[in-house]
Structure formats: C-alpha cells, structure tokens
Structure 1
Amino acid sequence: MIPDRYTTRRIRARYIKALNAIPLPVRRTDPPDTALPIDLAGLPVLATETVDERIVRFSLVVGQPRFRLTFEGIDPDLVGHVVNLETANPRLVIAEPFHTDWALSNEQALTEHAARVWGAITRSCGR
C-alpha cells in the first residue's frame, strides 16, 4: 500500500508528463517565419497594414469570424478586435483603453482592411 503522502506527488508527476506530451502551438520562431508569422497570443498573423503611421497586425482568431488587432513595436500592443466579418457591417471592439482615441479616429480604415482580408481568405478557402 502506498502511503497517502506520496500519492499527490505521483499524480502531479504523471500530470506533468502528460502535459509535456501534448503538442502546443508555436508561440515564437527564431528567426521569425515570413510565410506565416505568429503573434504573441499564438495566433497566425494574416496581414499587416500601416494605418496613420502605425503598423497594425491582423491575427486570425481560429474558428471565429474575427481578427485580433495588435501594434508592431508599441507597448501595450493590443488594440482590439474586428468582429462580424461574415456580415456586411464589421465592427471594431476596442480592448485597450490606452488606444481608444487612435482606434476611434481610424475605425473605418481598420474595418475596411479587415473586411478585405477576410474576403480574400474566405474566397481562397472555398466556402
């Protein structure tokens, strides 16, 4: 019989071993992959666009009709999301209060570019 004081360690050891066996998505590659770059949240960056002298990355949220918008080289980097891409009226949801003024003044450019990219990727995937 195994004493109770050892069961927690053995369960934890088996759990860690199982976690290490799971293939997790790549968070970063060194050097960065130019064909399909990955952002810090582990999402594929499908497009970059310069809007009002800032480089904005459009990352695909897998399984949802939305893009995650982040800045390149600005901290905090998260701007927000463009949602409702499957409709005629995509909408910007601002997630970082620090960038609210900039995002509201450039909302039309961000949503139009997101809709163009969404149209291009859904057209090529055969939906």
Structure 2
Amino acid sequence: MEFTGLIAHAVIGDRHLNFDAVFSQHRLRVTFSGTEPTVLGSVVYLDSHEPGLRISEPLHVDWAVQRHEAIINEAKRIWSSAIRECDG
C-alpha cells in the first residue's frame, strides 16, 4: 500500500486501484488506473465491523465480486492508516 494524503494506491489481482477517502461518510471511493471505465465504486461503513463493497460500474461486477474480500481488506488497512494519520 502506498499512502499519500487522502489517496492510496494498491494492486489487487491484475489491476491498479486508487482509494480516495471520504471521511465524513466513512467510505473510500475506489477507481482504477489504466482500466476503463475507471470507476469501480466505494467501500462503505468503514467505521463499523461490517464494511461493504458497493459496485457502481456494471462492467466491473464480475471482477469485483471475485475479489471483494481483498478490496475490502485493503480498504480497511487504508482507512486505519488514514485515521491514525488524522489523529496524529
């Protein structure tokens, strides 16, 4: 995981993902680098014990469903790092 400000980058499967924090909504917006369409969706409820993946681009559903645990786990790690950074 690479963390720079509010954006983190990770490779999951064969794709490069960008995670953009929306702190007020306890979610990370997830987009792709180098894959069209670029939007995947969001990992939501990161302040709970049951975060979830919401896929907003139908063309990526199959890929994301197969990797949803990896995407959510990466988002949880990124969220935890971001919260620690904010709390200082």
With the length of structure 2 as denominator, give the TM-score of the two structures. Answer: 0.88
The residue number in structure 1 matching 2:76 is 115
C-alpha change, 1:121 and 1:55, in structure 2 (3 Å) is: same
| Equivalent-residue separation in structure 2 for 1:58 and 1:124 (angstroms) | 16
Of 27, 37, 46, 1:66 maps to: 27
In the TM superposition, what is the alpha-carbon distance from 1:123 to its structure 2 partner? 1.7
The residue number in structure 2 matching 1:86 is 47
| Equivalent-residue separation in structure 1 for 2:40 and 2:25 (angstroms) | 18
The one-letter code of the counterpart of 1:123 is: R
- C-alpha root-mean-square deviation of aligned residues, in Å? 1.6
Higher relative contact order (CA 8 A, sep 6+): 2
In the TM superposition, what is the alpha-carbon distance from 1:112 to its structure 2 partner? 0.3
| Identity between Structure 1 and Structure 2 (%) | 35
Instruction: Tell which structure's C-alpha radius of gyration is larger.
Output: 1
The residue number in structure 2 matching 1:50 is 11
Structure 2 SS opposite 1:56 = strand
Q: What count of residue pairs does the alignment treat as equivalent?
A: 85
The residue number in structure 2 matching 1:98 is 59
Structure 1 SS opposite 2:54 = strand
With the length of structure 1 as denominator, give the TM-score of the two structures. Answer: 0.62
In the TM superposition, what is the alpha-carbon distance from 1:87 to its structure 2 partner? 0.8
| Equivalent-residue separation in structure 2 for 1:77 and 1:114 (angstroms) | 17
Q: Which 5+ residue runs of structure 1 have no aligned equivalent?
A: 1-34, 37-43
